[in-house]
Each structure stands twice: as structure tokens, then as C-alpha cells.
């Protein structure tokens, strides 16, 4: 099949990973923020233990405390999941250590503690939540946590600067670009996605299931980039994912 000029540029600027480098992504589905629901809180010790017990991979989120330490937590604010209020990055790590998740979920986990809990027993996807170009403190914290960790693990982010930082400073760590087309339709969105691809140089894409099938995702997949999809929640989305992606990040274990 004849490649378009853009497709040829994609393969030169953001080439697919070497054979086998991303193989573990195909191994099993990933539980979104751990296997949670009901009394089990997302991104908690119990959610991660449940995913391991049932044989799933784990997707989790990390963001930086005020002093740059990586904590496993999704929201930028503490309000929804803890008794506290305000932005997570407004508190130092020592302050966050004392904050407990709702119910019996226990304390917020630092990334090294979460890695110790998983103990290389299942594949991990770590979404690095960095909102601007100042990604260095959080990326450094993640890299430090992963030093010596031998289990299958990848980092990923909506922010192309994160994947680019790992490409430049920790190239052995598998890295991905998280993509949604929901807020960027049309030609302007296509341009932004391609520029993000070229900037980030990812080993895989994690694509919004609502956007599949996607011409952009399909082109990258044909070029050898694995495509994961999030967040799969029902049978219809699983069928879509089976055709247009290589693995799912899911909620709802049924």
C-alpha cells in the first residue's frame, strides 16, 4: 500500500518500537485505576490487589506533590476521594502521607509503595498527569521510583512533553501518548495530534474508545505502533476495541 507523505514522516520522526519491546501490552487487559467499584476505591491498595488476584494488568495515575514526589491519585483536587479539599499539588509529600482515601481504602500511595505492592506480578501502565511543560520534577520522581523495578511497566500521558522526556532521559522505559479527539475535532485537531506524535516519539498510543474507529489511530497501528484503548465499559465497546485496538483499559470486570 502506498503511504501518504504524512505517513512516511510519521515512520521517520516517530518510528514504531523494536520488535518485542512492547509485547507485554498485548498480554492481558488493564484495569482502569485498579479493579474498583462499590466499596473499593480507585487507585487504592484494595483496587490493585483485586486486579492482581483476578489476573489483570493495572492502569494507575500519578501526579506530583508540591515538592515533586509522585503520588498515585487521579484528580487534581482532593475533594472527591478524600475528606480534604483543595489541589493535591498544594501540599508537600509529608502532608499527603497523612491523608486517607474515603472508606477503608487507607492512605494515598506514593508510587514506590504501589510498586512494592504490585511486586512485578502484573503489567503496569502509569499515566503521568502533568498539565503544562513543567514535567521534569514528576518525571524524575517516576524514573527514580522505577529504578531497579524489573516488572513489565510503561509510562504514558496526554502531555507529549512527558513521553519526550522519557525518550530523551530514560529511553529503556516504554512510553505512550494518550489521545482523545473529543475536544479537538476537524483539521486543527488532526494537526495537533500529529505534532504531539512527532514531539512525544511514543512506543504506543492509548486512544479514547469513543473515537474508534479513527483514521489517525489506524494509520499509526498500520505503521507498527500498538494501540490501547480506554475506558472500555460495555460489550459494544469491547467489540469495537477487538477490531480497532490491540488491548483494552477497562472498567466493569464483566
In tens digits, the chain (254 residues) has pLDDT values of: 566 778 889 999 999 999 999 999 999 999 999 999 988 999 999 999 999 999 999 999 999 999 999 999 999 999 999 999 999 999 999 999 999 999 888 999 999 999 999 999 999 999 999 988 789 999 999 999 999 999 999 999 999 999 999 999 999 999 999 999 998 878 889 999 999 999 999 999 999 999 999 999 999 999 999 999 999 999 999 999 999 999 999 997 55
- Which residue blocks in 98-173 are alpha helix, DSSP H? 111-118, 136-146, 160-169
pLDDT of residue 8: 86
Q: CA quadruple 5, 167, 44, 79: dihedral positive or negative? A: negative
CATH ID of 1-27+152-254, from 1.10.150.20, 3.90.1150.10, 3.20.20.190, 2.40.50.140: 3.20.20.190
User: What residue spans define the domains of the chain?
Assistant: 1-27+152-254
DSSP state of 224: T
Q: CA quadruple 193, 199, 200, 201: dihedral positive or negative? A: positive
Work out the number of other CB atoms within 10 angstroms of the CB of residue 208: 16
d(CA 237, CA 77): 29
Q: What's the pTM value of the predicted model, to 2 decimals? A: 0.95
pLDDT of residue 1: 54
d(CA 43, CA 61): 7
d(CA 128, CA 198): 19
Amino acid at each position: 500500500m502506498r503511504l501518504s507523505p504524512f505517513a512516511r514522516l510519521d515512520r521517520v520522526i516517530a518510528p514504531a518500537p523494536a520488535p518485542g519491546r512492547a509485547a507485554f501490552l498485548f498480554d492481558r487487559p488493564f484495569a482502569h485505576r485498579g479493579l474498583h467499584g462499590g466499596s473499593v476505591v480507585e487507585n487504592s491498595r484494595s483496587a490493585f490487589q483485586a486486579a492482581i488476584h483476578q489476573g489483570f494488568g493495572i492502569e494507575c495515575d500519578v501526579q506530583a506533590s508540591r515538592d515533586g514526589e509522585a503520588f498515585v491519585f487521579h484528580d487534581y483536587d482532593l475533594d472527591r476521594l478524600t475528606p480534604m479539599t483543595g489541589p493535591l499539588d498544594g501540599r508537600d509529600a509529608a502532608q499527603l502521607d497523612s491523608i486517607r482515601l474515603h472508606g477503608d481504602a487507607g492512605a494515598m500511595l506514593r508510587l514506590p509503595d504501589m510498586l512494592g505492592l504490585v511486586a512485578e506480578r502484573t503489567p503496569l501502565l502509569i499515566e503521568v498527569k502533568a498539565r503544562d511543560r513543567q514535567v521534569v520534577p514528576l518525571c524524575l520522581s517516576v524514573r527514580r521510583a522505577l529504578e531497579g523495578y524489573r516488572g513489565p511497566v510503561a509510562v504514558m500521558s496526554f502531555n507529549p512533553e512527558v513521553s519526550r522526556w522519557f525518550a530523551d532521559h530514560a529511553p529503556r522505559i516504554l512510553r505512550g501518548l494518550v489521545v482523545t479527539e473529543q475536544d479537538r475535532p476537524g483539521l486543527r485537531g488532526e494537526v495537533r495530534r500529529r505534532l504531539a506524535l512527532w514531539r512525544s516519539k511514543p512506543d504506543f498510543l492509548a486512544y479514547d474508545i469513543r473515537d474508534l474507529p479513527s483514521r489517525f489511530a489506524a494509520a499509526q497501528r498500520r505503521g507498527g505502533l500498538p494501540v490501547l484503548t480506554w475506558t472500555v465499559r460495555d460489550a459494544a465497546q469491547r467489540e469495537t476495541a477487538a477490531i480497532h485496538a490491540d488491548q483494552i483499559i477497562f472498567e466493569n470486570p464483566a
